[in-house]
Chains A and B, each alone.
Chain A
Amino acid sequence: MSSSNPTYRLLIALVLAVVLMVLDQRTPWAQPIRYVFGYLTAPAQYLAHLPVDTARFVSRQTQSRGELLEDQERLNRQVLILEQRVQKLAVLEAENTRLRELLNSSASLEGSVLVAEIIGLDPDPNRQEIVINKGAREGVRRGQGVLEAQGLIGQVVEVGPLASRVLLITDASHAMSVQVNRNGVRAILAGTGQGNTLRLLYVPDTADVQQGDLLVSTGLGQLYPRGYPVAEVVSVDHRSGAAFADILARPKAQIDRASHVLLVESKPVEPAPADQDEQEDAPPDMAEEEGQ
Chain B
Amino acid sequence: MSKEKPAGTGVILVTLFLAGLLEVVPLPEDLNWLRPDWLLLVLMYWVLALPHRVGVLWGFVVGLYHDVLVGTTLGQWALAYSLGAYFMLAAYKRMRVFPALQQTAVVFLLVGSSNLLAYLVQESVGRAYYPPYTILYSTLASAVLWRPVVAALRWVQLRFLVR
Give the B-binding residues of A (Cβ under 8 A).
6-7, 9-10, 12-14, 16-21, 23-25, 30, 33-34, 37-38, 40-41, 43-45, 47-49, 51-52, 120-127, 129, 131, 157-158, 160, 165, 172-173, 193, 195
Cβ-defined contact, B130 with A125, below 8 A: yes
Q: Which residues of B contact A7 (CB under 8 A)?
A: 86
Q: Which residues of B contact A25 (CB under 8 A)?
A: 73, 125
Q: Which residues of A contact B93 (CB under 8 A)?
A: none
Name the residue on A nearest B89 (C-beta).
Answer: A6
If the complex has contacts A10-B82, A17-B82, are A193 and B129 also in contact, measured as CB distance less than 8 A?
yes
Q: Which residues of B contact A160 (CB under 8 A)?
A: 68
Interface residues of B, count at CB 8 A: 46
Cβ-defined contact, A17 with B78, below 8 A: yes
Cβ-defined contact, B64 with A33, below 8 A: yes
Report how many A-B pairs have Cβ atoms within 8 Å: 127
In the assembled complex, the Cα of A24 lies from the Cα of B72 at a distance in Å of 10
In the assembled complex, the Cα of A24 lies from the Cα of B125 at a distance in Å of 11
Cβ-defined contact, B134 with A125, below 8 A: yes
Q: Which residues of B contact A127 (CB under 8 A)?
A: 71, 127
The B contact surface, by secondary structure, is helix
In the assembled complex, the Cα of A3 lies from the Cα of B72 at a distance in Å of 29
- Shortest B42–chain A CB gap in Å is 13
In the assembled complex, the Cα of A157 lies from the Cα of B127 at a distance in Å of 15
Q: Which residues of B contact A123 (CB under 8 A)?
A: 23-24, 27, 32, 35, 70
In the assembled complex, the Cα of A13 lies from the Cα of B89 at a distance in Å of 15
Segment from B55-63, B96-104, B152-160 that makes contact with A = B55-63
In the assembled complex, the Cα of A160 lies from the Cα of B17 at a distance in Å of 18
- B151 is an interface residue with CB less than 8 A from chain A: no
Nearest 10 A/B pairs, CB to CB = A20-B75, A13-B82, A17-B79, A37-B68, A21-B75, A17-B75, A24-B74, A9-B56, A193-B129, A13-B60
0 or 1 for each of B21-32: is its CB under 8 Å from A? (1 = yes):
101111101001
- Shortest A206–chain B CB gap in Å is 31
**A10-B86, A21-B76, A44-B17 are known contacts; what are 12 more A-B pairs with Cβ within 8 Å?**
A9-B57, A10-B83, A13-B59, A16-B60, A30-B74, A38-B68, A40-B65, A41-B68, A48-B24, A120-B24, A125-B134, A195-B29
